[in-house]
Amino acid sequence: MKRQLPKRHDLAPLLKFKKPEMSPKKRRLEKALTIDDLRTIAKRRTPKAAFDYTDGAADGEVSLARAREAFADVQFNPAILRDVSSVDTSREVLGKRVALPFGIAPTGFTRMMQAEGEVAGAQAAAAAGIPFALSTMGTTSIEGVAAASPGGRNWFQLYMWKDRDRSMALVDRAAAAGFDTLLVTVDVPVAGARLRDVRNGMTIPPTLSARTVVNAIPRPAWWINFLTTEPLAFASLDAWSGTVADLLDTMFDPTVTYQDLEWIRSQWPGKISVKGVQSVDDARRLADAGVDAIVLSNHGGRQLDRAPVPFHLLPQVVKEVGSDLEVHLDTGIMSGQDIVAAIAHGAHFTMIGRAYLYGLMAGGRDGVDRTIEILQGQVERTMRLLGVTSLDELEPTHVTTLQRLAPRS
């Protein structure tokens, strides 16, 4: 075989050198190709107590593991020879069009994860054309979120307080600020046993034990941002100086019933969705009560461990109430494939919590944008590979759920 030295003009078409990226943040986000990649970056950059608050679940964390296993056990059934040159990922959700079949779920203590907090989430969601939900336990005020994303679609998540007047004052503020949907969360009569938080001494402000300080030393950027930005302000409180456990005890009311829900429904002017539904019977009762949507959710595994897996519950609920209200789903979603599987399985819409927070911790607003970008790309690619061009074309026949867990007779 005859060999010769290559000539420069022959090499030029074969070699393309990447322009160096000078921004460390952009470099690390560009390298993140999955939500798991963002999680790895987030863990490296965030103190353990804050990261574990996001990453952890209740007790043995079985509910969270099972929810993720449910998506891993999906087999897709593609159709071939379809024109998928363009796909439409938009859908009408609670009366308005959204660009993608997922929104950002309500998360508490968000500015403890990264200083930009809910503002980053709301602005990224508005830019992407998807809803952003603010938690009662969020660390940016209702009015602050509205001001940060004036063109965005904002939802407010409500925990019913023991002080009903105080709860409704929040509802009134959300309505006045232009929030169009109320997410009433009903799976928190008491806080779940989040053991990572107990072990880490998760308090507000953070507990500065020797262990906390040592863990923070290699993460100076988090502390600089935390200490040099505006002090934490809750969506529902002007200030709080106690522990997280004390705050949760104030927030959650174990006496809440369907009658309270009817009372809220009568006073809220917009759409209402009930989050934390975990049985067909409760889904049917809520449909009969006239709510606009339900969210099948076990609170990301953070409340009752070994609770039902929302993805497994989905087909039965859709069969029972899918024509009467919208059925949304969260818990366990870590990829666009998970979102497509949920839609094919019957969900009208999905919500992401941890996936959003991993992006936030990895890079603030840019990290949340990267989360959405990753998920959007995965959704579009999966749809094309399945041979569908719109969400309405996704059907149960596109997914087969492989059996790992089944009730014993």
Q: Are 139 and 118 in contact (CB under 8 A)?
A: yes
Phi, psi of 157 (to 5 degrees): -95, 130
**Of the candidates 88, 68, 107, the residue with the CA atom closest to the CA atom of residue 380:** 88
Residues in the chain: 409
**Of the candidates 367, 369, 327, the residue with the CA atom closest to the CA atom of residue 351:** 327
Pull the structure tokens for residue 227. 């200490």
Q: How far apart are alpha carbons 10 and 400 in whole angstroms?
A: 50
Bridge partners (DSSP) of residue 326 are 293
- The gap from C-alpha 302 to its chain's centroid, in whole angstroms, comes to 13
Contacts of 197 (CB under 8 A, 6+ apart): 49, 52, 53, 56, 244
Q: How far apart are alpha carbons 106 and 328 in whole angstroms?
A: 14
Contacts of 23 (CB under 8 A, 6+ apart): none
Q: Are 154 and 178 in contact (CB under 8 A)?
A: yes
**Of the candidates 132, 175, 105, the residue with the CA atom closest to the CA atom of residue 330:** 105
Parallel, antiparallel or unpaired: strands 132-134 and 154-158: parallel
Residue with tokens 């049917």: 284
Q: How far apart are alpha carbons 400 and 250 in whole angstroms?
A: 44
Q: How far apart are alpha carbons 259 and 254 in whole angstroms?
A: 13
Q: Are 350 and 333 in contact (CB under 8 A)?
A: yes
**Residue from 299, 345, 348, 398 carrying the catalytic annotation:** 299
The one-letter amino acid code at 36 reads: D
Q: Are 371 and 333 in contact (CB under 8 A)?
A: no
Q: Are 222 and 216 in contact (CB under 8 A)?
A: yes
Helix (H) or strand (E) holding 276: strand 271-277
Q: Is residue 398 annotated as part of the catalytic site, yes or no?
A: no
Catalytic residues: 299
